[in-house]
Structures are given as C-alpha cells and as structure tokens.
Amino acid sequence: MNHKGFTLIEIIILIVMAGILLPAIIIPFATGVRGSGKPEMVTTAMYLAHYKMEELMKYNYNKTPELNPTALTAPAAAPISGYQWQWSIYYVDNNFLNPDLVTNRGYKQIRVLITDPDGDTYNVYSVVTNFP
C-alpha cells in the first residue's frame, strides 16, 4: 500500500476548515479596503476647513459684514467635489460660553463646519479678540 495522494475524507475536512477560516480572514480585510479612502477624505476636509478659517481670520475684529455666517454651501475649489462648508461667528464671553450674535463681549468665536461626501462632519474653531 504505497499509494500517494489524499483520501476523500482528508479533502472534505480541508474544504470544511477552509469554509470556516476564510470568512474570518476575508471579512476584516474587505472592511479595511472599504475604509481605506477615509483618511484622504479627512485630510481634504481639514484642508478646506483650514483654508476657510485662514480666509476668515484675515479680517479685522470689527469687520462684521465680511464675517457673516452662511448656509451649508459647496466650496469654490473646482477639483474638490462632494464637500460642503458652513461657518458661523458668535460673540462669546471670556470662558467661550454663551454664544450670542448681537452682544459684543470682546471675543468672537469662528466655527467652520465641513461635511464630506460620506456625510461626516468636521469642525474647526478659532477665537478672535478685540485688541484696542
């Protein structure tokens, strides 16, 4: 009995074990591949948020018309699509609490909100003070 090869029982056991082990390996791999684009979306969203924040920070504290809040709109950057941004400006107290649109308390909080194509949102905050 010097036959080489596998028996039918050995092949069936191999198929059953592969059926149990392969999904345990493939499912986490597929999930990782699906989420691999997310870091790029986060980077793009943060780039847009910082871009808008820099634009808003160039204005003087008293230049309210240029700092008017807007509704959620698409950025003007042509190669970047699927993202939306919105900013809001509030007067806040020295603890950065109690936002108010009207009462000047010496501090303005600027918030830029970015929504990526997946619908996730990112916020960037900054505070501007009124130096005499």
Per-residue pLDDT, averaged over 78-84, amounts to 74
* Whether the predicted pLDDT of 124 surpasses 60: yes
Answer with the residue of higher pLDDT: 64 or 4: 4
- What pLDDT was estimated at residue 78? 45
Inform me whether the pLDDT recorded for 5 exceeds 90: no
pLDDT of residue 16: 95
Q: What is the pLDDT of residue 27?
A: 87
Residue 41 in this model has a pLDDT that exceeds 90: no
Residue boundaries of the structural domains of the chain: 37-129
- Residues in Cβ contact with 107 at an 8 Å cutoff, skipping those fewer than 6 apart: 91, 92, 93, 94, 96, 127, 128, 129, 130
